[in-house]
Amino acid sequence: MASGNPFQLEGRVLAVVGAGSGIGEAVAEMAARLGARVTLLDASEARARAAAERAGAEAEAAVLDITDAAAVEAAFDALVRRRGGLDAVISTPSINVRKAILDYTPEELDRVLSVNIKGSFNVLRAAGRHLTARGRGSIVLFSSIRSQVVEPGQSVYAATKAAIVQLVRTAAAEFAPVRVNAVAPGIVDTPLTAPIKQVPEWHAAYAAKSALRRWATPEEIAGPTLFLVSDAASYVTGTVLFADGGWTAVDGRFDPPKA
């Protein structure tokens, strides 16, 4: 472990995929504040550039479609050439189609699997090639509480988030000493959860599910994520960090009436 503050990222080259909004944007901005040289990658070049401007002078932006394996490989090759190396990669993108299994279309199935599984695998493989060649570094993929607990309409999304856990565990075994971990958020206020916020009863029910009885902000997920790429987590690999406000610890809630 390096001397000094083990949580600092001074001079590290980080790539954040899905950095144009939500959790990815919060991760990129916090990483920049901790001294990292951040590359923000997103399917929307405009969103990535806007987020990079907010992150600071050391940040740069590029467009990336994670479902295109060749494009992912090329993007990481170019990033390493520009930055002179790569220390950590964080990949946040996922999509969800909330539908009962019997109502799912083949096209919807392919779309969710393509982004959540194929896209994550493409990033993991491209990042792994560079980091294993250097013999050090860290990769963080995003799982979810849905890897453990589900509800009607979450079948395919939940399956992909469970699969990401196994990808991470396998990569941790194959890539060592490069560290590979996952973050599993609970309910977070992002564009992905916007449909839930539009229904007050749904929004309140989700808030009540966690021990903290509220939603998380993207910034509250950025901290645990960057811990995993810092020297403070130098002996942490192949694991899942649940940042869920206690959601997976609480099996229902009943507050007895006061005497």
DSSP string covering 224-246: HHHHHHSGGGTT--S-EEEESTT
Q: How confident is the model at residue 192 (pLDDT cuts 50, 70, 90)?
A: confident
Q: Return the closest-CA partner of residue 185 out of 149, 155, 153.
A: 149
Report pLDDT for 71: 98
Residue 251 lies in a domain: no
CA distance 18 to 215: 21
CATH number of the domain encompassing residue 108: 3.40.50.720
Residue 256 has pLDDT above 80, yes or no: no
Q: Domain of 199? A: 13-240
Amino acid at 258: K
Residue 258 lies in a domain: no
Using only C-alpha atoms, the chain has a radius of gyration, in whole angstroms, of 18
Q: How confident is the model at residue 32 (pLDDT cuts 50, 70, 90)?
A: very high
For residue 179, the cross-strand partners are 138
CA distance 198 to 206: 12
Amino acid at 215: W
Residue 256 lies in a domain: no
Catalytic residues: 157
Residue 53 lies in a domain: yes
Instruction: State the DSSP string of 98-153.
Output: ---GGG--HHHHHHHHIIIIIIHHHHHHHHHHHHHHHT--EEEEE--GGGT---TT
- Please count the structural domains in the chain: 1
Residue 247 lies in a domain: no
Residue 249 lies in a domain: no
- Over the chain, what is the mean pLDDT? 95
Residue 214 lies in a domain: yes
Q: Kindly report, residue by residue over 76-122, the tens digit of the pLDDT.
A: 999 999 999 999 999 999 999 999 999 999 999 999 999 999 999 99
Q: Say whether pTM exceeds 0.85.
A: yes
Residue 1 has pLDDT above 60, yes or no: no
Residue 257 lies in a domain: no
Report pLDDT for 254: 64
Q: Return the closest-CA partner of residue 115 out of 172, 156, 175, 147.
A: 156
Residue 44 has pLDDT above 70, yes or no: yes
